[in-house]
Structure formats: C-alpha cells, structure tokens
Amino acid sequence: MTDITIYHNPACGTSRNTLALIRNSGVEPTVIHYLETPPTRDDLKKLIADMATGVRGLLRKNTEPYAQLGLEDDRFSDDELLDAMLAHPILINRPIVVTPLGTRLCRPSEQVLDILPDPQRGALTKEDGEAVIDENGRRINR
C-alpha cells in the first residue's frame, strides 16, 4: 500500500481534481482537511523545505487575509509569514501532496502525476470537463 497524504480543501476544484487523480491510481490517500486541522509549524516548515518553494512560494495571495495583513510587503520575515499562515490556514496554498516520490504543490492538479508511484487506472476528466487521462491510463497532452 502506497502512503500518500493530501492537504486538501474540499471547496477547491484543483484540490478535488488532484484527489481524483490520486484515487485514479488505485490509492486512497490520507486526507488532511488543513483548514480544520492545520499543519504544525514544524510540519509546515518541512513541507516547504521538501518542496523547495520558500515560504512565499506557498503563500496564497488571492485571499482576504493576504490583503488585510499587507503580506505583499517584503518586510515580513519567513517566521512572520509562517505565523500568518498558521493563524489563517487559508493562506496556505493547496493542494499539497506528499508521496514516497516527493512533495509538491499540485497547481495545476496534473502536477501530482509526476509524484504518484502507481499509474493511472483509467480515464479521468476534470470537473471542468477537460480530459486529462485516457481510457488506457495515459496522460493526454495538451
């Protein structure tokens, strides 16, 4: 059994599509609804380090707290940005997927395909109607 974790927001279409791609590989991942159960500071730091994105690379900009807190300003340290993300988990961009092959922010959702150990098992169409996996389990190139 492959151990996969997704930091998921069920209200986010990209997150739902990513979860569908994971399940289409035959794996039921550990699903962490990170808005209700945010990662610890150490877990968040590890995720950022494993993705090599830097703290700002994981900061979600199109949310109300981002503007209210003035986070676009470069004066904030990484620790201050982490504090903001932990106080307002909506500031953590998603979905984040952890597999034995790596950790990745899966935007767009197809990014998850590069870190899934198991192949896709059949056709998959995203919620917007875009076919991404054909009936043979192969990625459809656009």
Q: Which of 2, 5, 12, 33 is catalytic?
A: 12
Helix ranges, 5-130 (H):
13-24, 41-51, 55-58, 64-68, 78-87
Query: For 55-67, what is each residue's pLDDT tens digit?
Result: 999 999 999 999 9
- The yes-or-no verdict on residue 122 having pLDDT over 70 is yes
**CATH class of the 5-133 domain in this structure:** alpha beta
Rounded Cα distance between 123 and 13, Å, is 18
Domain boundaries, the chain: 5-133
Helix ranges, 37-110 (H):
41-51, 55-58, 64-68, 78-87
Query: For 73-95, what is each residue's pLDDT tens digit?
Result: 999 999 999 999 999 999 999 99
Whether 106 is a known active-site residue: answer: no
CA distances, 134 to each of 53, 74, 111, 120, 139 (Å): 31, 44, 17, 9, 6
- The yes-or-no verdict on residue 141 having pLDDT over 90 is no
